[in-house]
Structure formats: structure tokens, C-alpha cells
Structure 1
């Protein structure tokens, strides 16, 4: 095995192959980042919607709950395929990257909404009641009172989700998005051994995820709630 890798390496480590892998890694990072950034915004809306108490907003709370539960329970690949066929039916010229980006956003929003909701709920009820006593609206309460306290709870698990989500974007290769896993298939089809082609993909995934995981651990150590802090 190692002799075969050594034999293939000069042909594998060419300028064009390295550029191809770098672009695929960029696509993986772009999908992950778009999914988490847009998913965080949509997840915040879902979490705030579910935090409302007005009877008039009950239909929106039901929709937010249904959205969260459906996209958390349905496998990523099933959602991706459904999105792909829906876009093919109504917007056939849509790029595959956009289809994957929409899917990752929906999935990320469902998971991140639960993380955000947990953070909002971690703030003591007295803080909510004090905001009501000061005649704050719900949005003012969330923005000025709750989020400044909840973000320390929200950020570490949200960051951990981002690291895990990078690996989930590999499923975008199933519809032809040229990300890292798809790049491994292409290099394997060009005649390079699976060990070399996918071994290189493994190394790149590690190089991306490990520093992020260490950064997430540092955030968790510095931003965790006071009950986890050392005296």
C-alpha cells in the first residue's frame, strides 16, 4: 500500500490537482459557513417565535415547532434529494451549489434553533419578568436583556455543531456539488488509488476541523456559565 502511494504521489501532487482540492475545500467551507450563518439567523427567528406567548401567534409557533421537528428528524440526504427535485421541477437552471446551500441552511436552522432556544431558556425567569415590568417588547427583551446573557451558553454548542456540520456537507456530493468528497471520487476515477485519493481528503478534513474543534474547546472553557468556572 505505502509503495503504491509513493509511486503515485508525484503524479498526484501536481499543481492542477492541488488547486482542484483547494477549490473543493473552499466549497466545503462555503457550504458549511453559509449553512451556519444563515441557519443561525433563521434559527434565532424560530427560537424567538417559539418563545412568544400571545394566542394570536399560536399558528406561527406551530409552524416553527413543525419546521424544527421535521428537519431535525428527516435525514440530511433525504432533505437534499427533495430540495434537488423541487428545484429541478420549478427552477431547473439553479446551480447545484445553491440547492446544497438552501438544504444546509434549512438543516442548520432546525438544529441551531434548539441550541438558541436552550440558551434563551437558560436565562432566569426573573430577567424576563423584569423586562415585562419595564414595558419592553419581546424583541427588546431578547435583544437587550436575554441574548447578552444567553450567548455564552449558546456559542460553545453552536460552534461544536459547526465543526460537525462540515462533515455533513459531504452529502452534497450526491447531487454533483464539487466539494471534498466529490473531489476524492474524481481523483479516484482518474486512476489514483482509493487509499491515496480519499486519504488526502481525510487529511484535508482533519486540517479544517481540528483547529476549529480546538477553538471551540477554548470558547467553551472561556464562555461557559459560571457554574463551570474554576474558583
Structure 2
């Protein structure tokens, strides 16, 4: 059995943490970019486009993230598209994140009075001008807190990337456990690092909610 000191265990876990953070950032940026396009598409009057977006949301919300990672990693390879574990993890987390953000943002937009859309049409404003100058500035204030709160789910979701071979915090924790046979110590440290990543975001989300008076 290989001997690992506490310093070795912690240093390896902290090194792996940077990959968890990078994966979370990449997935969140990708998810918000896709969600912006889908939210705009869902607000149009085209029923076909609305149904396509609704189907997209139901598909990726209704299937486990782990299955989505398997399909992205193994499924694309079977179709002849070689994809790395890093790319498959980003792709699956982007699809997962965007599906939930679309619903979060749609709910925030729906909280705004319908009369604002009607007043904008009466003033002759186009759909894009109404969205840009009237709806979005108000919806952003409502949406920013739950969006930051959902980023916690993205960070925790990166743990599933270890299943397809991507070496991040959970994967390194498993490897260290297999080498040291000290599961309680190793996974307690892994849990502590996840907590240190997620808890500040949860607090910041509550702070933003109070700041923008969302509860009112």
C-alpha cells in the first residue's frame, strides 16, 4: 500500500479542484449562452419554435445528467465522432444547465405585468426593442439571484464527470481512496471542498435576493 501523508492528500485534492472549477465555469458560460437563445425563441409567437424549445427543456430536465454524459461520451463515439471526456462533460453540462435556466428565466419574465408588452406594442416598439429596453432590465433583477443559486447545482453536477473518466475532484478522491484505503478521511475532505465552493454562492444568492427585493 502506498503511503500518503495528509499533505499529499490535500494537495492532490486541491489540484483537482481547479479542474472542477474550470469545468463549472465552462459549463455555466455555455449554458447561459444557449439559454439566452432559447429564452428569446420561446418568447416569439411562432408556435413551432415554442414547442421545439419546450421539447428541449423537457428532454434534458426529464433525463438524468449521468445518462446525458454517457450519451455524449459513448454515443458520439459510436457515431464516429471521437470526443474527449472534457468535451463530453462540457457538452452534457451545457445542455443540462441551459434547460433549467430557460425555465428559471421564463418564470422571471412571466412575473412582469402583461400590460407592459401591450403598452410597448401600442407605442410601436418592435419585439426586440421591447425585450431589450423594457422587459430584460426588469427580468434581470428578478433572475440574477436564482441564476447564481443554480450555479451550485452545476458545481455539484461536475462530480458525475468522473464516471466518464474526466479527472476532477471526485475522481481524484476515488483514486486516493483506492490507494490509501481511508475512505472517511478522503471523502470527508472532498465533501468539505465542495461545501467551500458551494456555500459562498448560496449566501451570495440570498444576498442578491434581498438586495433586489425579489421577495417583495
Structure 1 and Structure 2 fold alike (TM over 0.5)? yes
Decide which of 33, 36, 40 is 2:28's aligned counterpart: 36
* 3-state SS of 2:18 partner: helix
Decide which of 76, 80, 83 is 2:65's aligned counterpart: 76
Are residue 105 (structure 1) and residue 121 (structure 2) matched? no
Decide which of 38, 51, 64 is 1:46's aligned counterpart: 38
Structure 1 residue 142, shift from structure 2 partner: 1.4
Structure 1 residue 59, shift from structure 2 partner: 2.2
Residues 14-44 of structure 1: per-residue CA shift (max 9 Å, x gap): 3xx4443223211212222222222112112
Query: Superposition pairs for residues 150-165 of structure 1, below 5 Å?
Result: 150-165=139-154
Separation in 2, partners of 1:76, 1:82:
10
Decide which of 186, 199, 212 is 1:210's aligned counterpart: 199
**Contact 2:42/2:50, CA 8 A, preserved across alignment:** yes
Decide which of 7, 14, 19 is 1:13's aligned counterpart: 7
Separation in 1, partners of 2:36, 2:167:
30
Separation in 1, partners of 2:213, 2:21:
26
Query: Superposition pairs for residues 159-174 of structure 1, below 5 Å?
Result: 159-174=148-163
Which structure 2 segments of 5+ residues have no match?
Answer: none
Q: Counterpart in 1 of 2:53?
A: 64
Q: Counterpart in 1 of 2:122?
A: 133
* 3-state SS of 1:190 partner: helix
Are residue 193 (structure 1) and residue 185 (structure 2) matched? no
Separation in 2, partners of 1:189, 1:138:
57
| TM-score, normalised via structure 1 length | 0.86
How many residues align? The count is 213
Q: Counterpart in 2 of 1:179?
A: 168
Are residue 91 (structure 1) and residue 81 (structure 2) matched? yes
Separation in 2, partners of 1:18, 1:87:
35
Are residue 24 (structure 1) and residue 13 (structure 2) matched? no
**Contact 1:12/1:192, CA 8 A, preserved across alignment:** no
Separation in 2, partners of 1:140, 1:87:
40
